[in-house]
């Protein structure tokens, strides 16, 4: 059922994207103007990043500058697209029209987690449309260099672009998101990687003590988005359930990039 819902939201978002493309990327301002939705930037503490509100027959998007300090940053752009997701997804908009908060927990369909997940899905498909993203990705060398190039083109964060890259299965790969303290935050992998490695569900990440911190230290003097660490690796080094020298102990490339003050990510690429 969720797969059907994903396809429905993706189709909706990409249809809207195609109607509002300027120089190859989606113009959020065009969409906002067409729907007469005003964006209000203000200081709202730490309560939210963005919020779609229905008041007096109109829709407004509030952007919290205490968190999103730059109006044109990739994070702000993704948040605006996320809030537009709440507007364009009928079930979300109808809740607001009825005066019901999107954080309403009356049932699983209306749960905050569910609506936020759907709005994120909409945002990703709106900003990085499937067919256009795949064509653009084919022009880059696979891996982080491709993700960086796509991130710059679509004006999306490296993390959001990496998630899209994995989701669209551009190549057999898994990426690991690191927190600021060098512990793993989460991992995401492509369908083709799962087929090659046998990895299912949530992988157990294995990391040698201080290894990631040492890589980050070596990258500290490198300007973000312009360079990354790369070395050959075996999958058993990273996934605890993969036995060394087994049929699933794939050999591939390990690429790590630092994401400013927000930790970093490692991408593992295989053939």
* CATH number of residue 159's parent domain: 3.30.450
Note if the pTM is more than 0.85: yes
pLDDT computed for residue 104 by the predictor: 45
Give the end of a domain, one of 127, 156, 181. 127
Q: 101 vs 249, which has greater pLDDT?
A: 249
> Does residue 132 belong to any structural domain of this protein?
no
**HEC readout, the chain:** CHHHHHHHHHHHHHHHHHCCEECCEECHHHHHHHCCCEEEEECCCCCCCEEEEEECCEEEEEEECCCCCCCCCHHHHHHHHHHHHHHHCHHHHHHHHCCCCCCCCCCCCCCHHHHHHHHHHHHHHHHCCHHHHHHHHCCCCCCHHHHHHHHHHHCCCHHHHHHHHHHCCCCCEEEEEECCCCCEEEEEECHHHHHHHCCCCCCCECCCCCHHHHHHHHHCCCCCCCCCEEEEEEHHHCECCCCCCCCCCCEEEEEEEECCCCCEEEEEECC
pLDDT classification of 219: cutoffs 50, 70, 90: confident
| pLDDT for the residue numbered 103 | 61
124 — pLDDT class (breaks 50, 70, 90): very high
User: Stretch 164-190: mean pLDDT, rounded?
Assistant: 93
- 9: domain CATH number is 1.10.10.2910
Q: Is 134 a member of any domain? A: no
Classify residue 135: in a domain, yes or no: no
pLDDT at res. 132 = 95
Residue 186 falls within a domain, yes or no? yes
pLDDT of residue 218: 80
| Mean pLDDT, rounded, of the chain | 89
- Measured CA to CA, the distance from residue 106 to residue 111 in angstroms comes to 7
13 within domain boundaries: yes
**According to the model, what pLDDT value does residue 2 have?**
62
Lowest mean pLDDT among 42-56, 92-106, 131-145: 92-106
Domain-embedded: residue 133: no
d(CA 268, CA 232): 9
Contact indicator for 42, 50 with CB cutoff of 8 Å: no
The answer on 120 and 26 residing in a single domain is: yes
Examine the domain organization and report whether 121 and 45 are in the same domain: yes
User: Domain total for the chain?
Assistant: 2
Beta bridge partners of 58: 55
**Which pLDDT value is given to residue 105?**
39
pLDDT band of residue 47 (cuts 50, 70, 90) is: confident
The predicted structure's pLDDT at residue 109: 46
Query: Do 9 and 118 reside in the same domain of the chain?
Result: yes
Are 64 and 13 in the same domain?
yes
CA dihedral 249, 252, 256, 262 (to 10 degrees): -50
Are 117 and 146 contained in the same domain? no
Q: Find out whether 173 and 196 touch, Cβ atoms under 8 Å.
A: no
Phi then psi dihedrals of residue 24, to 5 deg:
90, -10
How far is residue 231's CA from residue 254's CA, in Å, rounded to a whole number? Answer: 5
Of 71, 102, 127, the position where a domain reaches its end is 127
Q: Is the pLDDT of residue 112 over 80?
A: no
Q: How far apart are CA 226 and CA 31, in angstroms?
A: 32
Domain, as residue range, for 14: 2-127
């Amino acid at each position: 059922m969720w797969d059907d819902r994903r396809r429905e939201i993706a189709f909706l978002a990409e249809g809207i994207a195609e109607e509002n493309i300027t120089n190859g990327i989606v113009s959020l301002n065009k969409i906002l103007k067409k729907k007469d939705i005003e964006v209000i930037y203000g200081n709202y503490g730490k309560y939210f990043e963005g919020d779609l509100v229905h008041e007096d027959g109109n829709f407004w998007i509030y952007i919290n500058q205490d968190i999103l300090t730059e109006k044109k940053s990739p994070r702000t752009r993704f948040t605006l697209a996320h809030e537009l997701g709440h507007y364009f997804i009928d079930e979300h908009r109808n809740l607001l029209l009825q005066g019901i908060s999107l954080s309403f927990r009356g049932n699983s369909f209306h749960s905050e987690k569910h609506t936020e997940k759907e709005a994120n899905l909409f945002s990703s498909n709106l900003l990085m449309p499937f067919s256009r993203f795949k064509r653009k990705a084919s022009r880059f060398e696979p891996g982080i260099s491709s993700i960086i190039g796509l991130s710059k083109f679509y004006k999306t964060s490296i993390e959001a672009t990496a998630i899209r890259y994995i989701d669209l299965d551009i190549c057999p790969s898994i990426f690991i998101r690191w927190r600021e303290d060098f512990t793993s935050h989460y991992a995401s992998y492509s369908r083709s990687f799962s087929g090659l490695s046998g990895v299912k569900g949530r992988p157990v990440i294995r990391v040698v003590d201080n290894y990631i911190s040492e890589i980050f230290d070596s990258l500290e003097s490198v300007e973000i988005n312009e360079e990354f660490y790369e070395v050959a690796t075996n999958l058993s080094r990273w996934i605890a359930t993969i036995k060394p020298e087994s049929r699933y102990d794939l050999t591939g490339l390990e690429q790590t990039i630092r994401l400013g003050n927000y930790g970093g990510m490692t991408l593992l690429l295989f053939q």
